[in-house]
């Protein structure tokens, strides 16, 4: 019996037969990266392989790295295995990594969401024998409404605030969520302003051809009177910071899966919570795992204990693996989110 196709080490998920790591958190020779978020695409590796759609954000964040790219579904021979990327539906360019050796297939999901948001490449199920999955929102309480309904709520909130002569400031993490929200908005509803951290990522997205509505970056020189009733998109950490003072008595909201929890909503002291996540909800996780056909499931981050026990009860051969990945964050500093 040969070594398992993937093994879990203190550097990250390792493929010994291919001589590479997937989303390693310590420096390695050869890193295969699922997507550009900071907990998955870290600095310091000798070489990187990622999707061509993930590359712009990775170069923006990591600078001059040795980065090779592949298209979705393109097959690469690395050592004794075949590697390919498949859409994860999480952020533009995000991928699940499929690794095959002699008919045995393992898939590492990275972060994923099963619902199509109309912005990033929609998630696709990949058949496999073993599936490595996140479970950021792996509790039944997490059940997402369709995006169109949430966005309609957001428009109604924005409109009401504009009628009252107030700005609407929405906290959405700068890499992914902010662009998804922007892309879903009806930009004829009013002017849209952005925090610098959001605008930095917008520029990367626009440069790679992703459709975003016009936005105006807020600087100390911006004459806010020229944008009455504007919607302002900022990283979550900017809400409640001195940066907010310029908007006067603005209405505030967060766009996050965590807004499904009343306690978190209250603690964040936002006027509104919009439940919008780039991760799968409970039903999404279960449907995704079923669609892989996998018998073995490894859970990496999120509500791992509960979710792993649930999967075992459903008859899966499930186990928790320790990783350094993080779920959806409301607390990353703005600089980090900009990065």
By beta-carbon proximity to Zn ion, the closer residue of 37 and 86 is: 37
Query: Least distance to Zn ion from the beta carbon of 327, Å?
Result: 6
Q: How many CB atoms sit inside 10 A of residue 186's CB?
A: 12
With CA atoms as reference, report the closest residue to 83 among 9, 8, 33.
33
What is the closest distance, in whole angstroms, from the C-beta atom of residue 39 to Zn ion in the complex?
Answer: 5
Q: How far is the CB of 111 from Zn ion (least distance, A)?
A: 4
Q: What is d(CA 143, CA 129) in angstroms, rounded to the nearest whole number?
A: 27
In this structure, are strands 168-171 and 231-234 parallel, antiparallel, or unpaired?
A: parallel
Residue 252 or 277 having the CB closest to Zn ion: 277
Of the candidates 97, 118, 92, 70, the residue with the CA atom closest to the CA atom of residue 15: 97
Instruction: Supply the minimum distance, in Å, between the C-beta of residue 52 and Zn ion.
Output: 18
Neighbours of 100 (CB within 10 A): 17
Nearer to Zn ion among residue 111 and residue 121 (C-beta):
111
Side by side, which strands form the sheet with 317-320? Answer: 76-78, 81-87, 95-101, 104-108, 130-135, 296-302, 317-320
Give me the least distance between CB of 154 and Zn ion, in Å please: 22
Q: Which residues sit opposite 106 in a β-bridge?
A: 99, 130
Least separation in angstroms between residue 37's CB and Zn ion is 4
Which of 111, 281 has the CB closer to Zn ion? Answer: 111
Minimum CB separation of residue 23 from Zn ion in Å reads 8
Using the minimum distance from each CB to Zn ion, give the nearer residue, 39 or 203. Answer: 39
Task: Say how far apart CA 132 and CA 99 lie, in whole Å.
Answer: 11
Residues that bind Zn ion (CB under 5 A): 37, 39, 111, 325
Q: Which residues contact 213 (CB under 8 A, 6 or more apart)?
A: 182, 183, 185, 187, 192
Residue 160 makes CB contacts below 8 A (sequence gap 6+) with none
Smallest distance, Zn ion to C-beta of residue 100, A: 24
Which residue, 168 or 323, is less far from Zn ion as judged by CB? 323
Please give the full DSSP string across 141-153, using - where no structure is assigned: T--PPPHHHHHHH
Residue 233 carries which DSSP code? Answer: E
Q: Count of CB atoms within 10 A of residue 139's CB?
A: 18
Q: Is the Cα dihedral 314, 320, 321, 322 positive or negative?
A: positive
When the beta carbons of 81 and 135 are compared against Zn ion, the nearer one is: 135
User: Residue 133 or residue 161: which is nearer to Zn ion going by CB?
Assistant: 133
């Amino acid at each position: 019996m040969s070594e398992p196709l993937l093994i879990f080490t203190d550097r990250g998920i390792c493929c010994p037969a291919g001589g590479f790591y997937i989303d390693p958190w310590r420096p390695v020779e050869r890193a295969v990266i699922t997507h550009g978020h900071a907990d998955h695409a870290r600095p310091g590796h000798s070489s990187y392989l990622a999707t061509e759609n993930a590359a712009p954000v990775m170069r923006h964040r990591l600078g001059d790295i040795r980065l090779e790219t592949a298209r979705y579904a393109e097959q690469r021979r690395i050592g004794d295995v075949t590697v390919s990327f498949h859409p994860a539906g999480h952020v533009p360019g995000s991928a699940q990594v499929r690794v095959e050796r002699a008919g045995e297939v393992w898939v590492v999901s990275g972060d994923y969401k099963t619902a199509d948001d109309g912005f990033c490449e929609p998630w696709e199920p990949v058949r496999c024998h073993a599936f490595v999955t996140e479970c950021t929102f792996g509790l039944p309480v997490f059940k997402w409404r369709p995006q169109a309904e949430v966005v309609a709520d957001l428009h109604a909130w924005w409109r009401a605030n504009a009628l009252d002569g107030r700005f609407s400031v929405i906290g959405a993490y700068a890499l992914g969520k902010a662009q998804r929200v922007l892309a879903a908005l009806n930009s004829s509803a009013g002017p849209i302003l952005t925090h610098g951290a959001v605008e930095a990522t917008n520029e990367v997205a626009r440069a790679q051809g992703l459709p975003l509505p016009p936005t105006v970056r807020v600087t100390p020189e911006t004459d806010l009177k020229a944008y009455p009733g504007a919607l302002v998109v900022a990283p979550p950490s900017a809400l409640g910071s001195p940066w907010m003072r310029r908007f006067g008595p603005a209405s505030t909201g967060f766009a996050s899966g965590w807004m499904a929890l009343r306690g978190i909503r209250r603690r964040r002291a936002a006027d509104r919570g919009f439940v919008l996540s780039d991760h799968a909800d409970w039903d999404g996780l279960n449907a995704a795992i079923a669609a892989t056909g996998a018998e073995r499931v490894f859970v990496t981050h999120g509500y791992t204990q509960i979710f792993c026990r649930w999967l075992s009860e459903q008859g899966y051969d499930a186990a928790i693996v320790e990783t350094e990945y993080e779920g959806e964050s409301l607390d990353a500093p703005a600089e980090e989110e900009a990065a």
